[in-house]
Each structure stands twice: as structure tokens, then as C-alpha cells.
Chains A and B, each alone.
Chain A
Amino acid sequence: MKSDKGTYISVEIDGKRIQVPEGSTVLDAAASAGIYIPTLCYLKGLKSYGGCRLCIVEIKNMIGYPTACTTPVTNEMEISTKSPELQSIRREILELILSEHPYSCLICNDKKECQDFMHTIRKVTVTTGCNFCTSNGGCELQDLVEYLDLKDIRFPITYRNVQAVNNNPFYDLDYNLCILCGRCVRICNEERYSGVLAFVQRGNSTLVGTAFGESQIEAGCEYCGACVDVCPTGSLSEKMGSWVGVPTDSTTSICILCSVGCKMNINTKGNRIVNIGPRPGKRTEPDQLCIRGKFIPADITHHPERITKPLINKNGIWLEITWNQAIDLITKHFKKFTGKEFGIIGSAHDTIENSYALQKFCRVVMGSNNIDLSPTYNDLSLFKKVQGFQPVGIDEIIGFDTILIIGSNASVSHPIIENRIRKAYHHGAKIITAHSHLNRTHQFSNERIIYHPGSENIFLLQILNDLKTAQNIKFPKDISDALKLIDTKGAATATGIKQAQIRKITESLAPAKKILIIAGDTLFKSSLSNDNFNLLSNIYFALNNFADCEMMFLVDDGNRFGATYIGMHPEYLPGFLEVRNGAKKWSEAWGIDIPPVSGLSAEEMLSNLPGNNFKSLFLKGDLPNHEKLDELEFFVQQNMFITETSKYADILLPAYCFTESNGHIINIERNLKQINPAVHAPESIKPTWQILSNISQKLKNKSFKYRKTDEIYEEITAKLDLSIDKTTRKTSKPELSMPDIKIPGKKRKIEMIPEPDYFLYQGNSMSKLIPDLKQLIDNKGGKHG
């Protein structure tokens, strides 16, 4: 529908007179009058296609039966949607559609009785009727048959007899059930721009497929699952759901696997996740997820290797102990190592509530500021500085005319953000990509730069310098003096990017009115993070001289911003108050003296063992294998799985998955979002805050005691505003300085930043845990890189 500002016209539908915006289709108009027209190929959010013809209507003075989804309304149009004649044609159309689809299920007399037994035989991978169909209950054909009251199908059934594909990771394909509605083809091409699916062949042999029948992986499928979400039949179906049955409940929550924080609907039956889709119940409507949100949460939640009881390490063998024993043991040891000898490393895949509890426990109960997140960022002050920039909304991305994306493999790290870049590209925005390797975003770019790995900062310097020379931008004196010293030849050798290419970029930036700089993770994971930040900020200010420029920082995990803001940091208390200056506020609030000295970062806690007098660690999640952990005197790990790191742990506690948790996160847009539990964790697992609370009680500490997650949230919000004010950001200029830019071309030390593993959950490698993901990653590296 058009905006409400447009002109309205008057139409009559089934005798009802209504006003609708000009440009609406007959289908839109009917919907606004509350009139149902059956549809099949139509899907809100996709371009109408007019393929199934179920939505036919009669319009006065129009010959034939136009399709409602493609016909625009005109003034004084008179539409009829339900005449007996229409219904009978629709019935015939549906019969024809069904003649190519196993339909015994749809018109079966025993449908009702059958319902009770149907989930028992779902392991069969080829669907021949509703009993075997993964889509049963979610199938839109079932609804249509019901609506049109179809009792009999007079055409002989043609079973296509094409091979069903069940060796594809994450979802099965059985095109014997396909009714060629084209939703999957359209969403894959028009919304995801992945270009995997197409209609191939013609006439009777038309099918959905890929070039030369290559596999989905070979065709570059990104496993976003969008096609599965929109398919009205059982033709495309999630593997994980096909054995579980028809979902009975649906919970709206947030994916925390990356900082986008997509809304997800977790459809469940009993205490199991059936599937995850963008909308409750039915799977359709294209609000979208990526591979991680769509397919992975169910697999980790119900993973067979998950631990559910506290375990103690007896000479390399794990023995189950009770919670009381575990808490007693932990307390006994924690008593010995308070203050600087103790520390906590948490995960940015955790809620604000757990993060707050962890840091408060560390500070208040254990008297230590040794708190950090893993994986960590090199520049500890990064997030405080990032806060100086106005956050950019994910859906605002499409409104920029020029986007410069640097140092990011966003199609893997932040797929939904990258999807908006693709969209912007297709809407005519100019996209400039710069990265150390070829990646999928290059397909959606006007300028593609591939600089030598590790030379990010010099590349940024080249841009900054050229903005000064070519665009005549006035810089503060210290910066323009510094820029004078640049050895442009040396810089070009170091990055592999010639001056002419740099000029092309600055020339594309020059006419821009609205520029977005998207700064990837790799810029901040190196030891040059601070330099990179300063250079980027200088570029940002330079561009703001002639355009409206915004900056987006692609931080990694779902709650990275929230967890840092809430104090999971050795130098900052909640609200980014420095330990040195903010101790008073929080000392008062917590009724205890917080040591006014910064703690150790994760890196510092672990790398100098045992010389640094650091003796005891509580770890939430997993760490990359760290031999030094052996030097710890007492090490508690709370994690969903036993990992390589666990062999150094004295006690291993089970943990909740985010699908079972309740709490909040702050995403990349700095929006506060709520996580809701879709399933219950096994009863023998306790949430982190509760474990800490039990320990604190054992230690007779009165200032740390919680009974519910909500209590923590209330305590936080009483002291701290979590809804971050976005309007004032632009005015507070971040502090800037010029990094050391004397760059001799050859002598410079190159720091290689390995591509981070984006398939981690709380430090656990999901590709090790999920065979389908492993298959996918092992098979990649093909043409799409």
C-alpha cells in the first residue's frame, strides 16, 4: 500500500463502499475492507506474480476474471469477490493445481481421525500424503481445500517422481510437492538477492531448480532459510522440525547470535523447538533471519552432548555432583582467592541481567575488577568511543545514497545488515567495498577494493589523504600537518592500492549527499584498533563537511554493546563510568567499597599466568584452547558443553541456552530488546545469576541476592537508563587524534588478522557441534568464497 499522504479513491467491493489509497491492488483493497480473497502465489512483501489465479475477481466493465493481486484499483471500480461462478472456477483451478500434488491427504474422509496419529511416521523422507508431510498443519493447500470445500478431484494425479533431496544441510527439498507458486524463487532473488533458485525448463517440465541441477551449496545458497519460510507446501522443510510434529506454541524472542538482534518466532511442541521462523504459527511473511537464527538455535538447544548436571573433574574423569556439593566446593575455594587473585570472563552472547550479575558478583562479592568478555577487543575503550556516534537503524541503511563498507565480511558476520546493503545497491545506491579478501558483497558493489591483509590503517590513511588533496577539505592544523608527511608511494605499495583507485573512491564520495560508513570487525580486532578508529573518525568528519555522513560499527555478538555498557569490563562500571571516577556512585548503590583501580582484561588474566598472581577464574562459555589455564588454582566453567578448555576446569556447571532464557540485550542499533524463553531448560540447570546468588549467600554476603531475573532488571533500571538516547549523539564529537603515520613502505610490520569464526555461541564452535554446519563450511570455499 502507498503512504497515507497519497490520494484516496473510492471503490465498491461486494457491495461495501470503501476509500483506498491510489495505487493499491484489488487484493489490498479487499483486505482493508475485511474481505478474504484466497491467494496462493501472493505474499506480502514480494512483487505480485499472478501465477496461481486463485485470487480472481469480477470487475464491472472488465472482461474475464482479473487477478486481485496484480490489478490496481481505479476510481469507482465495482468488484465482486465471491459469486458462485468465481468460487466454482477457483475450485477448478485448485483441482488443477492439486493434480500435480499428492492430494489424497487433502480430500481424505478420515482426515479428522488421522490427526492423532500422524506424527508417528514422519521419518519417511518422501511425502506422498499428509501423514508423511512435514508441512502438515502448516500447509496452505489444506486451508484452501477447506475454504473452497473441495471434496473431489476429477483429474488424474501426475506424480512428478523427481528425486527428493535429503542430503542438503538444514533443509530437505521434495519438488514432488511443489505447486510452482514461485514464492521461493522470488524471495531468493528479490529479497535475499542470493540468486540460487530459478524456474528451469518450460511447459510441463517446469520445476524450481538450480543451474544444471547443481546442489544448493554449489549454487551459492546462503542457508538463510527464507525459501523454507515462505513455501506454502511441504516442498521445502526444515530437517530439524520434520520429526517433531505440528507446533502447538509460538514464542517471540530475539536472536542473539550477532549484534543485529533479529526478531524470531520460536515454534514449539511440548518442550521441543519445531522450527524457527519470522512469524508465529505459519512460517510465511518475509521478515527475515539468517542461517544462524533460522537453523542453529534448535540444534544447540536440543544437542545430545549438552551437559545438564554439575560435574567435578577427578583426574580427568567427570563425575556428577549435586548442586549443593558444587556450591559448597566453589565457595570453599572462592574464599581463598578474593580480590585481584580472582576474575570473571563472560560472553557477549549473554543477557544484560546475567552480565550485570556477573560483574556485580565479581566486584561486590569477590572484590575484584578483573572482568572481561571473550572474545575481547584490543582497544578496551572502543565501546565508550563508539557511543559517541549516533546509532544507525538497520532499516535506515537503504536510505543512504553511498555506502562505504570497510574490513568486513558482512554477508557472514551480519547477514541482515548486508542484506540491506544489497537492497540499497538494487535501489541505485553506490556501494564501495574494501576488504582484504574477495567476498560476496563484492557482487553488490560499484567499487571493489582488495587491500593487502593487515594494511587496513594505511588504506584508511590513503583515503583520508586523498580527501584532503582532491576534495579540498580543511582539516585541523595538527592533522593536515601530519598528512603532509605521508609517503604516498610507500602507502600504495603497502596496501597494493594505487593512487588512481583511491581517487576513484573519493570521486564517488564527492557528489554524495548521505554517506554511510560501515566499519567491520577486522578493523578493531587488531592491535591497530585505536589507529583505525581515529582514522575512520577523521574520515567521518571530513565527509561531514559536504555530506550527511553516519557511521555504523559492526560489533560482533548479540549483546556486545549491552554487556559492555552494563559493566562486563575491567575499566568501566555500569554506564561506562570509569572505575577510577565512578566507583563512588556504584559503591554507594551496592553498599560496598569498589576498588578504584582498573582490573585485568581477559588477555591479561590469562597470558601472564602464573606470574601475575592471578589464581582463580569463573568462565561463562568457552575460550579458545588456552594451555596456561592449567596454571590456575581454581577454575569454574559454566557452559552448555564439555569442550577442550574444560579439561583445565575443576568444576563444570551446566548452562541455559538463550532459547530458554529470559532477559534483555542491547543490539547494534542500541535498542533494548527482550529475550523470552521458548522452552524450559532441563530442571537440573540453574541460571547464572542464581548460581552466583547461592554462592554469595554461602559466603554470607548480603548485598548480592536475587530470586528472579526481573529483580535484577529492576535494580539495573532504577540506576541506569537502558534506552539510550539517540537524538543527542551527533553533537558530542568524539575525541580525535592522529595516529602515527610515518609509514615507510617496506619496514612496516604487517599484522595479519585471521578471519574470525562467526559460528560461535558463547565461545563454543557451532560447526564442531552441528554436523550440517560442518558439512556446509567444509564444502564452501567454492566460487562464492
Chain B
Amino acid sequence: MSSLLNTLGKHFPECSKGDLIPVLQHVQDQEGYISSNAIREISEYLNISCSTIYGVATFYSQFKFNPPGRHSIKICLGTACHVQGGDFILSALQMEIGIAPGSTTEDGRFDLERVACLGCCAIAPVMMVDNDIHSRLSVIKLRQILSNYE
């Protein structure tokens, strides 16, 4: 893990507290998410307390605190998808894989995230698994789709 400290030292030699957000972004790029260990290391490096870093990080939706799953599901809850029953799909999805948005399944298969509009409102409700768009979702279709991702 001290390799993290090394790269921090390289990219942020100033060690300034104002670098917190770029540092968090950098760590997320490197490791895919912000782990509690990473927060501890950043805390040491920038001399900011873990709680404060966590507070700042949780304020922005861009940061994740769980390791990404093998497949990332983004479920749309934008206006069009909402009207077409997006939240139903979300509930069904949650039941199916057993996790809430913002987390990763225990077996590391999926992580789940909700987004505001995927830009294809005409075929709502939609979700994206990795880079594939799945449209006009229904509860029945959902299972089938998921079974394609191991």
C-alpha cells in the first residue's frame, strides 16, 4: 500500500491540503475506489483527519467506497425512465442481486449505481451493464440479461 504513498509523492509533491479532491480522484483512478486504507494513507500524507476526508469524499457522488464488481450496472432513474417505471426495475434488481445502490455484491460479480439519464430516453426504462445498453426493461427481462454476465 505504501506504493500509493509513493505515487502521491510523485503526483502531488506540494503536499497541500487543497489537493484533497485531485488526490482522491487520482486514488480512485488507480484503485477503482476509495478504500479505508487509502483514506488512512491520504490522511497521513496530507495531514487531514480520516473523518474529514471521508466527509468530503462522501459529499461528491463521483467517489466510490467499494471495490468495483466484475460488471458495473448503472440503472437510470431519469425523468423518462422514472415515468416508465425505472424505480420498479431498481427494486427488482436490488432483490435480484441483493445490494443497494453504491455497493458491490459479496461475490464481486456486480456493483450497482443509479444515474440520472443515460441519453436514450426514447427506449426507457434503460440500464447499462458495463458498456451495453439494455432497453425497454421489464422485470422478466432483467433476469435473463443478468445471466449473461458472470
* Residues on A facing B (Cβ under 8 Å): 189, 194-202, 209-212, 214, 219-220, 443, 783
Are A195 and B54 touching (Cβ within 8 A)? Answer: no
Count A-B pairs with CB separation below 8 Å. Answer: 54
Are A202 and B54 touching (Cβ within 8 A)? Answer: no
> Which residues from A are CB-within-8-Å of B39?
211-212
Are B54 and A211 touching (Cβ within 8 A)? Answer: yes
> Which residues from B are CB-within-8-Å of A198?
49, 51-52, 54-56
Are A202 and B58 touching (Cβ within 8 A)? Answer: yes
Q: Give Cα A210 to B52, complex, Å.
A: 8
* Residues on B facing A (Cβ under 8 Å): 36, 39-40, 47-56, 58-61, 65
Question: Which of A194, A195, A197, A443 is the most central at the interface, judged by chain B CB atoms within 10 Å of its CB?
Answer: A195
> Which residues from B are CB-within-8-Å of A196?
49, 51
Supposing A202-B58, A443-B47 touch, asked if A195 and B52 sit within 8 A by C-beta, the answer is: yes
Q: Closest CB-CB distance, B15 to chain A, in whole Å?
A: 13
Are A211 and B51 touching (Cβ within 8 A)? Answer: yes
Q: Give Cα A214 to B54, complex, Å.
A: 11
Q: Give Cα A443 to B44, complex, Å.
A: 9
Chain A, interface SS category: loop
> Which residues from B are CB-within-8-Å of A783?
40
Q: Give Cα A196 to B50, complex, Å.
A: 8
Are A210 and B59 touching (Cβ within 8 A)? Answer: no
> Which residues from A are CB-within-8-Å of B55?
198-200, 209
> Which residues from A are CB-within-8-Å of B61?
202
* Interface pairs (10), CB distance under 8 Å: A195-B51, A196-B49, A209-B54, A210-B54, A211-B36, A211-B39, A211-B50, A211-B54, A212-B65, A219-B49
> Which residues from A are CB-within-8-Å of B59?
199, 201-202
Chain A residue nearest to B36 (CB atoms) is A212
Q: Closest CB-CB distance, A91 to chain B, in whole Å?
A: 30
Question: Which of A198, A209, A210, A211 is the most central at the interface, judged by chain B CB atoms within 10 Å of its CB?
Answer: A211
Are A219 and B40 touching (Cβ within 8 A)? Answer: no
Supposing A202-B59, A783-B40 touch, asked if A212 and B49 sit within 8 A by C-beta, the answer is: no
Chain A residue nearest to B54 (CB atoms) is A211
> Which residues from B are CB-within-8-Å of A197?
51
Are A212 and B47 touching (Cβ within 8 A)? Answer: no
Supposing A211-B39, A212-B65 touch, asked if A201 and B51 sit within 8 A by C-beta, the answer is: no
Q: Give Cα A211 to B48, complex, Å.
A: 12
Are B53 and A211 touching (Cβ within 8 A)? Answer: yes
Are B51 and A219 touching (Cβ within 8 A)? Answer: yes
> Which residues from B are CB-within-8-Å of A194?
49
Q: A199-B59, A202-B59, A212-B39 are in contact. List 16 more A-B contacts (CB 8 A).
A: A194-B49, A195-B48, A195-B52, A197-B51, A198-B51, A198-B55, A200-B51, A200-B55, A200-B58, A209-B51, A211-B50, A212-B36, A212-B65, A214-B36, A214-B50, A219-B49
> Which residues from B are CB-within-8-Å of A214?
36, 50
Q: Closest CB-CB distance, B33 to chain A, in whole Å?
A: 12
Q: Closest CB-CB distance, B101 to chain A, in whole Å?
A: 12
Are B52 and A219 touching (Cβ within 8 A)? Answer: no
> Which residues from A are CB-within-8-Å of B50?
195, 210-211, 214, 219-220
Q: Closest CB-CB distance, B89 to chain A, in whole Å?
A: 22
Q: Give Cα A209 to B50, complex, Å.
A: 11
Are B40 and A189 touching (Cβ within 8 A)? Answer: no
Q: Give Cα A443 to B49, complex, Å.
A: 10
> Which residues from B are CB-within-8-Å of A195?
48-52
Q: Give Cα A563 to B116, complex, Å.
A: 71
Q: Give Cα A211 to B63, complex, Å.
A: 14
Q: Closest CB-CB distance, A225 to chain B, in whole Å?
A: 17
Q: Closest CB-CB distance, B27 to chain A, in whole Å?
A: 14
Q: Closest CB-CB distance, B64 to chain A, in whole Å?
A: 13
> Which residues from A are CB-within-8-Å of B48?
195
Question: Which of A197, A198, A202, A214 is the most central at the interface, judged by chain B CB atoms within 10 Å of its CB?
Answer: A198
Q: Closest CB-CB distance, A535 to chain B, in whole Å?
A: 31
Q: Closest CB-CB distance, A729 to chain B, in whole Å?
A: 37
Q: Give Cα A193 to B124, complex, Å.
A: 50
Are A201 and B49 touching (Cβ within 8 A)? Answer: no
Q: Closest CB-CB distance, A146 to chain B, in whole Å?
A: 33
Q: Give Cα A196 to B49, complex, Å.
A: 7
Q: Closest CB-CB distance, B68 to chain A, in whole Å?
A: 17
Are A200 and B54 touching (Cβ within 8 A)? Answer: yes
> Which residues from B are CB-within-8-Å of A201?
58-59
> Which residues from A are CB-within-8-Å of B52?
189, 195, 198
Chain B residue nearest to A189 (CB atoms) is B52
Q: Closest CB-CB distance, B59 to chain A, in whole Å?
A: 5
Q: Give Cα A199 to B56, complex, Å.
A: 8
Are A220 and B54 touching (Cβ within 8 A)? Answer: no
Q: Give Cα A210 to B48, complex, Å.
A: 13
Q: Closest CB-CB distance, A197 to chain B, in whole Å?
A: 6
> Which residues from A are CB-within-8-Å of B36?
211-212, 214
> Which residues from B are CB-within-8-Å of A219?
49-51
> Which residues from B are CB-within-8-Å of A189?
49, 52
Question: Which of B52, B60, B65 is the most central at the interface, judged by chain A CB atoms within 10 Å of its CB?
Answer: B52
Q: Give Cα A202 to B58, complex, Å.
A: 7
Chain B residue nearest to A220 (CB atoms) is B49
Q: Which 9 A-B pairs have the closest CB atoms?
A: A195-B49, A198-B55, A211-B54, A211-B50, A198-B51, A210-B51, A200-B58, A198-B52, A202-B59
Question: Which of B36, B48, B52, B55 is the most central at the interface, judged by chain A CB atoms within 10 Å of its CB?
Answer: B55
Q: Closest CB-CB distance, A120 to chain B, in whole Å?
A: 37
Q: Give Cα A194 to B60, complex, Å.
A: 24
Q: Closest CB-CB distance, A709 to chain B, in whole Å?
A: 46
Supposing A189-B49, A195-B48 touch, asked if A212 and B40 sit within 8 A by C-beta, the answer is: no
> Which residues from A are CB-within-8-Å of B49?
189, 194-196, 198, 219-220
Chain B residue nearest to A443 (CB atoms) is B47
Chain B residue nearest to A198 (CB atoms) is B55
Q: Closest CB-CB distance, A276 to chain B, in whole Å?
A: 26
> Which residues from A are CB-within-8-Å of B40?
783
Q: Closest CB-CB distance, A311 to chain B, in whole Å?
A: 49
Q: Closest CB-CB distance, B41 to chain A, in whole Å?
A: 11
Q: Closest CB-CB distance, B45 to chain A, in whole Å?
A: 12
Q: Closest CB-CB distance, A207 to chain B, in whole Å?
A: 10
Chain A residue nearest to B53 (CB atoms) is A211
